[in-house]
Structures are given as C-alpha cells and as structure tokens.
C-alpha cells in the first residue's frame, strides 16, 4: 500500500484535470463551460504566458455568466466589474500583471468585499490573492513559446478546498 502524500493544515484538498485546447474559439467555449460550474463567492486564478488565452477564456466566462459589457483585458485599469444581465453573479475581472505586491497591494481593489456576491477572476494572481479564499479554482495555461503560430494550449484546472473537492471538473472537456 502506498502512503498518502502529506498535507499540512493550511494546504486545501485538490481536485485536478487537464485538457487540450486547439483554438481561441475552443478557449472561449471552455470559459462558457466553466461558467456553469461557478457561483457567487468563487475565486478563479488564471496563469500562463503572455498570449496564452487568459482573457479569451474570461471572455467566454463572461458570456456564460451572462454579464454586461465586453470582457477585455483590464491590464491598465487593473480591474473591471461586469454586472449580471440576469439573476447571476457579477464578474470581477482583475489583471494583477502590473502589481508587484501581494494581497496588501490588492486591498485597494476591495476584492474581499466583492467576493461573497461575485465571481472574481484574477489573471497573474498567483502569489498575490490566494489568501482571499481557501476554496479557489486555478487554471494554468501552457502554450508553445517563441516564434510559433501553434494554437494548442494545455490547460490544467485545479480546484482547491472543500468547494471543489466533489466537483467533476472533467465536464470541462465535454
């Protein structure tokens, strides 16, 4: 019998799946499928190289959540709020690329206040916003780097904490 991997008390349980995306439209569709799993209070962290498809995925997420306004990269405004057009939660889209500090620097955005009633998506948020919620969804998007026109992306989706422990993340590859 193999010993279980040790988990410290601060390390939430993880649930993970991997998928391959071969076009920007498929990345957008992944966002639409992901929206069906999300609810108010969910924190989603996106990471990947420049041009990996983080904003494209978030655009699909906004479509799936039925929010107002075009989802575009909030790089220079840091955060955009997209109110729901129906009875779903608003989408708060944050780009932490230009922020060098951790959660302290993010406090000005009042994400902790917005989190209970919103879905918050943070691009480049690793090492900066994890303290907002023990339960979070992390998506890592890998793409070929260098001079390439390769559209293939390998996406790893990891649900951390009790919220995601029993969620079937394989439905994202449908």
In terms of pLDDT, which residue wins out, 146 or 16?
16
In terms of pLDDT, which residue wins out, 133 or 108?
133
Q: Are 139 and 112 in contact (CB under 8 A)?
A: no
Q: How many CA atoms lie within 13 A of 36 on its CB side?
A: 12
Q: What are the C-alpha distances in Å from 16 to residues 19, 80, 93, 158?
A: 10, 28, 23, 4
Residue 140 has pLDDT above 70, yes or no: yes
Predicted TM-score of the model (pTM): 0.83
Residue 5 has pLDDT above 50, yes or no: no
Measured on CA atoms in the order 3, 11, 79, 146, is the torsion positive or negative? negative
Q: H or E element: which one contains 80?
A: strand 79-82
Q: What is the pLDDT of residue 113?
A: 60
Q: What is the pLDDT of residue 36?
A: 96
Mean pLDDT of the chain: 83
What is the residue-wise DSSP string for 127-157? TTSGGG-SSEEEEEEEE--SS-----EEEEE
Q: Are 51 and 123 in contact (CB under 8 A)?
A: no
Spatial distance between the Cα atoms of 37 and 169, rounded to a whole number of angstroms: 9
Q: What is the pLDDT of residues 91-130, one digit of tens each?
A: 999 887 766 655 555 555 556 666 688 999 999 878 777 8
What is the residue-wise DSSP string for 116-129? GGSEEEEET-TTTS
Residue 153 has pLDDT above 90, yes or no: yes
């Amino acid at each position: 019998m193999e010993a279980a991997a040790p988990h410290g008390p601060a390390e939430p349980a993880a649930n993970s799946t991997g998928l391959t995306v071969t076009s920007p439209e498929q990345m957008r569709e992944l966002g639409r499928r992901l929206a069906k799993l999300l609810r108010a209070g969910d924190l989603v962290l996106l990471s990947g190289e420049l041009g990996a498809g983080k904003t494209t995925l978030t655009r699909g997420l906004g479509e799936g959540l039925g929010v107002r306004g075009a989802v575009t990269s909030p790089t220079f405004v840091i955060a955009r709020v997209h109110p729901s057009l129906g009875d779903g939660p608003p989408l708060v889209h944050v780009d932490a690329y230009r922020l060098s500090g951790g959660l302290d620097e993010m406090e000005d955005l009042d994400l902790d206040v917005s989190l209970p009633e919103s879905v918050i998506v943070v691009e480049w948020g690793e090492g900066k916003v994890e303290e907002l919620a023990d339960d979070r969804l992390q998506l890592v998007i890998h793409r070929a780097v260098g001079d390439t026109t390769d559209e293939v992306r390998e996406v790893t989706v990891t649900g951390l904490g009790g919220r995601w422990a029993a969620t079937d993340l394989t439905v994202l590859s449908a």
